[in-house]
């Protein structure tokens, strides 16, 4: 009965792409097991059945990527932003939101012209434009989502997780420009249907002539050349529509995004970054067990294309109950600890941080208990002086040392010295919140940590009373730190965070 039930369970359903291949492997293992099974193997068969069910669930949930032409010329991109502005204005007029904007006492004033229809238009157009537009949306979503108007925050979350793919004729143009018209001869296999799409490129599955399975990331045409113009057009739109509160210092966000995107568009630089991270985490004294950074294939890479070893795994948020069954507590704790150790070692030892905390950049393979790190375009170096001061600030936050927090915050540039008492209080309270996981020994239970809600309370004060924008380094660094802590919260992990922090407080940052 066990054998029959297992085969029936595993053989139903269609197979799609990588998850289909993974399901095939699970089926093969199950068939091997049930062919020889007796009562003693029933438990293993049940485990395989549950695993197959989880994969099938993901196959059913899998989104179909939308294929839309990427505006690749300056004129096309300018018209794209102009069209978006026109749509937003029309929707605002017909929804009556422009009348509300004139009312200073209205709750709508805080939202500018934003409503669900306008937000949906912005999300759809940003996904179509890709590049700079999508990058700014992702930065605002990850960094200040708690303090944005609700419809816009929801739209930007969609922007963060979705993007259209380019049509095959544009893919052909990009590949031919880098490798010539016979570019397919460079690969033994190349799947023209991408498996993922992001802000500046899409990922394809392939195989080298040596039989190595690879991931090929191909940059959208026109993105690199359009960074300056895109940022200027986007800033005009967001400012005109009053979509972003003044306290978020949109000009600094745009400036940071422009610099970051320009670096990300250079895939040769990303290949250099990835090789440095691989050496740091896999061969140096900072090596972390159960961590992998895939190798780069230089002969299959260019300024617009980067090819790396393919890695199996699920984004870390898939370990939660949001997608069915929770991963065991021990697994979630181990993954969370590795994530935090990665962040601390990147900053306080390597002084180079991969600053994109998107869950899809951290793939956990439960077959071999390995956490794979991918996508190193958004990598930033930090001066040793800043790192030294920041380490002292983190420890002061953990120790709830108010005097030290204020002293270092002013020294680094968080505060200018003219802040109101309410702003000082909000800054210190926010520091206490972020230092709480590192405050005492023993395991910290992230399931009980309501950092988002508590930070949002202080964020309201920041929007109205912050006199200076955060230091330049903080825009990228805090995105990674906040993202790592948010991941631990989502995993409901238990981690001895103070032990991790203490292992760095007596060390001097390394010199690259």
Distance CA 445, CA 438 (A): 11
Burial of 75 (0-12, 13-18, 19+ CB in 10 A): exposed
Catalytic: which of 333, 356, 375, 401?
356
Reduced to 3 states (helix: H, G, I; strand: E, B; else coil), residue 471 is: coil
Q: Long-range contacts made by residues 191-197, C-beta under 8 angstroms, separation at least 24?
A: 192/168, 193/17, 194/65, 194/165, 194/218, 195/17, 195/18, 196/360, 197/65, 197/162, 197/163, 197/164, 197/165
337-376 burial: b if 16+ Cβ within 10 Å, else e: bbbbbbbbbbbbbbbbbbbbbbbbbbbbebeeebbbbbbb
Distance CA 56, CA 37 (A): 24
Whether 411 is catalytic: no
Q: What angle do CA 143, 276, 370 make, to 5 degrees?
A: 75
409-430 burial: b if 16+ Cβ within 10 Å, else e: beebbbbeeebeeebbebbbeb
Contact (CB, 8 A) for 423 and 466? yes
Between strands 196-197 and 314-315, the pairing is unpaired
Please report where in the chains the tokens 């999300």 appear, as a residue: 123
Using alpha carbons, list the distances in angstroms from residue 158 to 107, 127, 142, 166, 285.
24, 9, 11, 18, 39
Tell me how far apart the 2 most distant CA atoms of the chain are, in Å.
76
Using alpha carbons, list the distances in angstroms from residue 501 to 138, 362, 439, 484.
29, 22, 10, 14
DSSP-assigned letters across all residues of 187-229: -SEE-SS-SEE-SSEEEEEEE-TTS-EEEEEEEPTTTTTTHHH
Going by C-alpha positions, the residue among 199, 187, 192, 416 that lies closest to residue 307 is 187
Distance CA 334, CA 327 (A): 11
Going by C-alpha positions, the residue among 458, 469, 457 that lies closest to residue 416 is 469
Show the tokens assigned to 371.
């956490």
Distance CA 278, CA 373 (A): 9
Distance CA 445, CA 429 (A): 20
Catalytic residues: 356
């Amino acid at each position: 009965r066990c054998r029959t039930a297992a085969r029936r369970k595993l053989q139903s359903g269609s197979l799609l792409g990588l998850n289909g291949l993974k399901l095939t492997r699970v089926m093969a293992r199950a068939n091997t097991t049930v062919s020889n099974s007796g009562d003693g193997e029933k438990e293993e068969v049940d485990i395989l059945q549950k695993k197959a069910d989880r994969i099938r669930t993901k196959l059913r949930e899998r989104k179909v990527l939308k294929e839309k032409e990427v505006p690749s010329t300056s004129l096309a991109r300018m018209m794209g932003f102009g069209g978006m502005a026109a749509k937003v204005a029309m929707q605002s007029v017909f929804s009556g939101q422009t009348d509300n904007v004139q009312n200073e006492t209205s709750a709508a004033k805080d939202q500018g012209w934003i409503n669900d229809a306008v937000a949906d238009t912005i999300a759809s157009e940003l996904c179509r434009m890709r590049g700079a537009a999508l990058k700014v949306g992702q930065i605002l979503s990850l960094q200040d989502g708690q303090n944005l108007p609700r419809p816009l925050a929801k739209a930007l979350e969609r922007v963060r997780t979705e993007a259209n793919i380019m049509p095959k004729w544009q893919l052909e143009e990009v590949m031919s420009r880098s490798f010539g018209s016979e570019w397919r001869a460079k690969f033994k296999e190349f799947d023209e249907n991408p498996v993922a799409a992001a802000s500046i490129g899409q990922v394809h599955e392939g195989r080298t002539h040596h039989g190595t399975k690879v991931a090929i990331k191909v940059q959208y045409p026109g993105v690199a050349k359009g960074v300056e113009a895109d940022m200027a057009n986007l800033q005009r739109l967001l400012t005109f529509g009053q979509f972003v509160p003044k306290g978020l210092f949109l000009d600094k966000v745009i400036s940071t995004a422009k610099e970051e995107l320009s670096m990300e568009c250079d895939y040769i630089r990303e290949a250099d970054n990835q090789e440095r991270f691989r050496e740091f985490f896999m061969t140096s004294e900072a090596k972390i067990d159960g961590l992998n950074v895939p190798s780069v294939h230089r002969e299959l890479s260019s300024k617009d294309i980067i090819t790396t070893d393919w890695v199996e795994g699920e984004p870390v948020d898939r370990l939660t109950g949001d997608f069915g069954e929770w991963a065991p507590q021990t697994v979630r704790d181990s993954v969370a600890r590795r994530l935090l150790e990665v962040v601390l070692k990147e900053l306080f030892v390597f002084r180079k941080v991969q600053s994109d905390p998107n869950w899809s950049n951290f793939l956990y393979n439960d077959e071999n208990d390995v956490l794979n790190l991918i996508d190193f375009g958004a990598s930033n170096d930090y001066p040793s002086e800043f790192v030294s001061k920041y380490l002292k600030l983190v420890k002061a936050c953990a120790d709830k040392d108010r005097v030290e927090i204020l002293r270092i915050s002013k020294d680094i540039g968080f505060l200018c010295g003219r802040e109101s008492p309410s702003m000082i209080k909000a800054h210190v309270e926010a520091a206490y919140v972020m230092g709480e996981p590192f405050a005492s020994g023993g395991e910290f239970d992230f399931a009980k940590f309501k950092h988002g809600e508590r930070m949002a309370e202080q964020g309201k004060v920041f929007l109205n009373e912050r006199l200076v924008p955060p230091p330049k380094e903080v825009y990228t660094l805090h995105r990674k730190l906040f993202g790592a802590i948010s991941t631990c919260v989502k995993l409901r992990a238990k981690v001895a965070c103070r032990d991790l922090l203490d292992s760095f407080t007596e060390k001097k940052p390394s010199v690259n």
